[in-house]
Structure 1
Amino acid sequence: MRDGAKSASTYPYVILLLVVLAVVAYVRIRLLPVPLERDEGEYAYMGQLLLKGIPPYASVYTMKLPGAGLMYALFMTIFGQTASGIHAGLLLVNVLNIFLVYLLTRRLLDNNAALIACASYALLSLSQSVLGAFAHATHLVVFFSLAGLVLLLRSLECPRSPILFVSGLCFGLAFATKQHAAFLAIFGLVLLIRHGRLNPSVSPTALTRSCLLFLAGLVLPFVLIVFWLSQVGALEKFWFWTVTYASTYAAGVPLDTAIYNLMTALVKFMVQLPLWLMAIAGFVFLVSKRGNRNLRPFVIGLVISSILAVCPGLHFREHYFVMTLPAVSILIGYALTSVPHVMPPDLQGRLVPYGPAILFFLAIAYGLFSERSHFFILSPEEVSRATYGVNPFPEAPVIAHYLREHTSPEDRIAVLGSEPEICFYAGRMSATGHIYMYGLMENHRNAEAMQQAMVREIEAVRPRYIVAVNVDYSWLVRPDSQRAVIEWGGQYIREFYERTGITEISDTGGASRYYWGAQATGYTPVSESFITVYRRRFGM
């Protein structure tokens, strides 16, 4: 292709990319103050404690490795300990991910495909179909995994030991952020082995050395985490929560529930349907006889490993699908740049190079229009409510402000519910490390012991305030749940605490109502979802 034709075909994609990036940046900046949801609250609270020198698993129990909490601590150091600060960190990571998608796709295909891919990733990773406005750990998994892949491909072209080690290190950091990343790390190792086996110039000894170097980088973060926690006396709890308990969570849900979870998540992709259809078309063309055989093993491997990363436990949370978006974006780029190869010759002159660009423009326009309410109209609080229903995320900052104003920094609070964001906003330590009630309500052999441990911790601390969350999603009580901790909570509060606040969440979408002091004492909630604040009686 002549340089003039190449510039002409590239120009529309550059314009589209700049427009998409501008819109995405505007939306992300507009939604910086969106209230933290509970996963974000967990990472934020853990990061806040880390900044105070308090290690994870000593005062916060979680089945996740501490990578996300450490990254949140970094975000808050740079941007401040607020929801906006955390989402500014997400914005930074998103920009880096877009750039890495560009680098990876350009290395695999060409510049046009790379421009299409990073514009696609920018929009898809913002979509509410994957809860894109919220700083889930999956965005961090994408960042470290993409960095690992880019470095790995670089090391395969120009063998250098430090690059290969750093590639493994990136995959190790992805795993330390979320264990689901193990499948992407395995994909990286398979790529390395495949390259060595197919390249006659790579001896078995050299391949073994390369694999060991990659694996050394891969396991280093986990080894350092284990060493760190052993030094601070938290290794036993770390092992229980991330291995013993996590294995019961990852064991999965019944098949009918798994299918329902998957279908519920996939239906939400309709808001970006044209882009997903383009990705499917790209995959079909890739595996066809006319597909790019050199590209096929890498992309198919990336697709499979990304899908497997979504599957542990068969919960299929919406934000898990963020890990599939790099592969999806590459396929979109491949599909559109392959259009000239599948068109009749008499149409190529009239539709190339602008035909694919027009298709891409229409797909982007459809996505922006479909999500216009979330992107451009709803306030940050309304976005939270529209996304998460009656979950008390918009109310948490108000409740936390009351707690902060009525306690000293040394006072402890207990949240009877799965709302760690309240502890973060209030800047007060929880009286118990059990920041989620879900594990206590699940039917497994450790549930009773976990409930008893939570009771002992709260009774030993005698928290200044207790926040009782009467929201179904904050407990997920099942028919087979053990309810001892619920019964204990009611009795303990009646004996030692007095009501000082009620927050009532409207069941019909109206504004929440807050009652404090004497107003709260005699008020009976009408809504099914409400949060009650209790203060310990003086002298008790």
Structure 2
Amino acid sequence: MALNSPDRHYIFPWLVVITAGLLFGCVSLLYPFGRDQAIYAYAGKLLLEGKMNYLHVFDLKPPGIHFLFAFIQLIGGESLLNARIFDIGWQIVTAITVFKITGKITKNNIFPAFAAVSYLFLYYRQDYWHTLQADGSLNLFFGISILLLLSFRNKHSFLKLFFAGISFAAVLLFKYTVISFLPLLIIALIADKKFIFSLRLKNIAVFVTGMLTTAGFVIILYYFTGALKELIDTQFLWTPLYTKIAFETEEFYFIFKHSIKLFTHSAYTPLLLLSIFSMIYSIFKKDLGFEKLLIFSWLISALLSLIIQWKFYNYHFLVIIPSISILGSYGLSLIKELFTEKKSLYRFVLTAFILIFSILAFKPYIPNYLNIGDYFTGKESLNSIYIKNGFTTDSVFMYGKTIKAVDAVKENSELSDKIFVWGFDPLIYYLSSRHCSSRFIYNFPLLWKGENSEFRKEFLGAIDSDKPKLIIVANNDPLIYISGYDEDSKQSLKRFPEFDYIISTRYSFLTSAEDYEIYSRNEW
């Protein structure tokens, strides 16, 4: 079947977007999993085995990312490389959604293509730890919801509104703190003078019904699998407790410093300033139609989510990339219109913007492209590049050390054996294909400054009944960021004397693997 004219119109810019996605995304093919991705992957693996997250694996993240990783493993198996390939496809589709949304407020395909490429460029400048995160994965669902909200008005469609609500509820399953978009959307829908007031109220009701449909499905799923209480407790009791414990991120200076950096000298600054310009210009010109209010609301809610959660790690900024890419491109289109009679000046401004943007943002790509060259020329193996890429600057996590522990576990246990890692390294479970003997796949809920007596009682019961073949104790893994104590896991054992006693009386030291001590269960 021949493509119609509108379809042909999009072929070239979409090819540009897809090519950019492959060009930028290929650097992630050589990324290992960090601890976060290991949690999601292990939880996803258990979901595929019929075990529910929260009931059978404790994690503080909302459930959406666990189900996404279950889907990744369903189609690609337990492969770090296949997960990265999946993410490239996921982000390219997200970029195409960004393209479509930008096309609603600009006049040609240049600015939508620029927005889509900017999105991919900013996303893949992040390292292994900060990609394949919930904060970046939710952008596709958010974009779909925005696109449906933009298109339902052409030929009024309650069905599109309903699915927009479903899609936005899916966003919340990845990150609750973007809920501030909902009241902003309600304001935009009420202010939409295209429809009579009674129809505006119906539009809101249909969107909310879509959200409640998703929420109802989730509640039913967790209720009938016996995991609803654990879901509610984890998300609304233990997660707030953890955010209060998290070292440094609650401090005013930490928050202020990162806020200033975001607006003044980050890779996001050029697009963010252009976004602010587009908002101010639209307000000044009284050009605030529903489309622009909607996208402005997207940006505002993304920024508010950072403030609500008081988190400023690199991956938390992934939620702002789609909206600043769209509004930044719109800002450039406005500048072009302002300089209609001064094209040379506009070209100068555009060139300066691209240069500044590239200088600020391109640097992380250089070593990764060199790694790709080393891999394909046979100078380095995939595992050696995983080791090179897989570390944190403060050495809190090092893939090379983790893989040594994984090798030791494989050598001293069978696939059917259960193990327990006293530390924060769930990657050991995932890479060794061993199950954890408890739902607590990391130790800090058993240690944190707060109520954890019930957790400890449950944990000790699981250890007593499952009798893990191996217990791996981590050293040199600072827990202050997650437990509130300036100690590593080995030192923190004294805070849990009951478990320390189990290790000393029922287990014997077997071997060391880098920063991990491995103990084997006594057979007598």
Same fold (TM over 0.5): yes
Could you say if the C-alpha distance between residues 478 and 409 of structure 1 is closer, same or farther in structure 2, counting changes exceeding 3 Å?
A: same
**Aligned: 1:67 with 2:52:** no
SS in 1 for 2:95: helix
Distance (Å, rounded) in 2 between the aligned partners of 1:449 and 1:480: 23
1:64-123 CA-to-partner distances (Å, cap 9, x unmatched) read: 332111111111112221211222222122111111111111112232221221111111
Aligned residue among 281, 287, 306 for 2:302: 306
AA matched with 2:44? G
Q: Which moved more, 1:56-65 or 1:244-253?
A: 244-253
Quote the residue 1:391 is aligned against.
397
- Equivalent of residue 511 in structure 2, options 469, 491, 501: 501
CA shift at 1:190, angstroms? 3.8
Count of paired positions: 493
What amino acid maps onto 2:453 in structure 1? E
The match for 1:45 is: 42
**CA–CA distance in 2 between the matches of 1:342 and 1:249?**
49
Counterpart amino acid of residue 417 in structure 2: D
User: What letter is aligned with 1:433?
Assistant: R
In structure 2, what is the equivalent of residue 151 of structure 1?
148
Aligned residue number for residue 314 of structure 2: 318
Which residue of the partner structure matches residue 516 of structure 2? Answer: 531
* Matched letter for residue 45 of structure 1: Y
Match of 2:112 among 100, 111, 114: 114
Alignment correspondent of 2:368: 375
CA contact (8 A) 1:35 1:380 kept: yes
CA contact (8 A) 2:185 2:297 kept: no
Do the aligned partners of 1:443 and 1:480 also contact (CA within 8 Å) in 2?
no
- Structure 2 residue matching 1:58: 3-state secondary structure: coil
Residue in 1 that maps onto 2:236: 243
Q: Residue 456 of structure 2 aligns to which amino acid in structure 1? A: Q
Identity rate of aligned residues, in percent? 18
Task: Kindly provide the amino acid, as one letter, of the partner of residue 446 in structure 2.
Answer: L
CA distance in 2: counterparts of 1:40 and 1:268, whole angstroms = 27
Deviation at 1:387, TM superposition (A): 5.2
Q: Is the 8 A contact 1:113 1:334 kept in 2?
A: yes
CA contact (8 A) 2:122 2:321 kept: yes
The Cα of 1:356 is off from its aligned counterpart by 5.2
Specify the code of the residue in structure 2 equivalent to 1:467.
Answer: I
Deviations 1:224-247 (A, max 9, x none): 222122212222222211222123
Contact 1:497–1:535 (Cα < 8 Å) also in 2:
yes
Is 1:279 matched up with 2:279? Answer: no
CA RMSD of aligned residues (A): 3.3
Contact 2:447/2:495, CA 8 A, preserved across alignment: no
Of the structure 1 ranges 148-157 and 224-233, higher mean CA displacement relative to structure 2 is found in 224-233
Q: Quote how far apart the aligned CAs of 1:319 are.
A: 0.9
Residues 47 and 287 from structure 1, CA distance in 2 versus in 1: closer, same or farther, beyond 3 angstroms? same
Q: CA deviation at 1:478?
A: 3.1
- Superposition map of 1:425-504 within 5 A: 425-444=431-450, 446-474=451-479, 476-479=482-485, 486-504=496-514
Question: What aligned pairs does 1:291-302 form with structure 2 within 5 A after superposition?
Answer: 292-294=287-289, 297-302=293-298
Tell me the equivalent position of 2:380. Answer: none
Q: Name which of structure 1's ranges 102-111 and 361-370 shifts more when overlaid on structure 2.
A: 361-370
Distance across 1 between alignment mates of 2:62 and 2:517: 32
1:184, 1:305 within 8 Å by CA — same for their partners in 2?
yes
SS at match of 2:369: helix
Q: Who is 1:181 aligned against?
A: 178
Q: Within 1, Cα distance between the matches of 2:523 and 2:245?
A: 46
Is the Cα–Cα contact under 8 Å of residues 261 and 317 in structure 1 kept in the other structure?
Answer: no
Deviates more, 1:399-408 or 1:471-480: 471-480
Contact in 2 for aligned 1:274/1:363 (Cα 8 Å):
no
Distance 1:532 1:252, change over 3 A: closer
In structure 2, what residue type is equivalent to 1:157? N
TM-score, normalised by the number of residues in structure 2: 0.84
Q: Per-residue deviation at 1:39?
A: 1.4
**What is the alpha-carbon distance in structure 2 between the residues aligned to residue 275 and residue 224 of structure 1?**
37
Alignment of 1:510-525 (within 5 A): none
| Structure 1 residue identity aligned to 2:511 | G
CA contact (8 A) 1:103 1:150 kept: yes
Give the aligned partner of residue 412 of structure 1.
418
Question: Which residue number in structure 2 is paired with residue 339 of structure 1?
Answer: 335
Question: Aligned equivalents of 2:335 and 2:245: distance in 1?
Answer: 41
Residue correspondence of structure 1 range 15-164 to structure 2 within 5 A = 18=16, 22=19, 25-110=22-107, 111-128=109-126, 134-164=131-161
**Against the structure 1 CA distance between its residues 93 and 78, is the aligned structure 2 distance closer, same or farther, given a 3 Å change threshold?**
same
* Partners of 2:493 and 2:500 within 8 A in 1: no
Give how far 1:497 is off: 1.8
1:350 corresponds to 2:347: no
Residue-by-residue CA offset, 1:225-282 (whole Å, 9 max, x unaligned): 2212221222222221122212333568799844344356568769984652243134
Q: Work out whether residues 272 and 366 of structure 1, in 8 Å CA contact, stay in contact via their aligned partners in 2.
A: no
Q: Structure 1 pair 56/533, CA: closer, same or farther in 2 (3 Å)? A: same
Distance in 2 between residues matched to 1:178 and 1:285, nearest whole Å: 27
Normalising by structure 1, report the TM-score: 0.81
Q: What amino acid maps onto 1:493 in structure 2?
A: I
Matches of 1:466 and 1:254 in 2, distance apart?
27
Q: CA deviation at 1:202?
A: 2.6
1:510 counterpart residue number: none
Give a deviation string over 1:512-531, Cα, whole Å, max 9, x none.
xxxxxxxxxxxxxxxxxx11
Q: Offset at 1:479?
A: 4.7
Q: Distance in 1 between matches of 2:512 and 2:258?
A: 34
SS at match of 2:191: helix
Measured after TM superposition, the shift of residue 167 of structure 1 is: 0.6
Structure 1, gaps ≥5 residues long: 1-9, 505-529
Tell whether 2:208 aligns with 1:202: no
Flag structure 2 segments of 5+ consecutive residues without an equivalent.
1-8, 372-384
Deviation per CA, 1:472-530, whole angstroms, max 9, x where unpaired? 345644359996654334332221222333232xxxxxxxxxxxxxxxxxxxxxxxxx1
What is the distance in 1 between the residues matched to 2:178 and 2:280? 25
Q: Is contact 1:27–1:375 with CA below 8 Å preserved after alignment?
A: no
Distance verdict in 2 for CA 1:349–1:309, change over 3 Å: closer
Distance 1:394 1:336, change over 3 A: farther
Report how far residue 435 of structure 1 moved: 2.0
CA distance in 2, matches of 1:499, 1:268: 48
1:66 counterpart letter in structure 2:
P
Alignment partners' CA distance in 2, 1:456 and 1:501: 26
Could you give the per-residue CA deviations for residues 336-370 of structure 1, whole angstroms, max 9, x where no partner exists? 2222344494xx14345x44553354245424642
Partner SS state of residue 177, structure 1: coil
Range moving further from structure 2, 398-407 or 413-422: 398-407
Q: Is the 8 A contact 1:126 1:133 kept in 2?
A: no
Say which SS state the counterpart of residue 390 (structure 2) adopts: helix
CA gap of 1:59–1:474, structure 2 versus 1, over 3 A, is farther
Comparing 308-317 and 71-80, the one that deviates more? 308-317
Letter in 2 for 1:237: E
Query: Is the CA contact (8 Å cut-off) linking 1:470 and 1:531 kept in structure 2?
Result: yes
Q: Provide closer, same or farther for how the CA distance between residues 168 and 371 of structure 1 changes in structure 2, counting only shifts above 3 A.
A: same
- Higher mean alpha-carbon deviation, 428-437 vs 92-101, is at 428-437
The 3 A distance-change label for structure 1 pair 273 and 342 is: farther
The 8 Å contact of residues 106 and 333 in structure 2, kept in 1 or not, is answered as: no
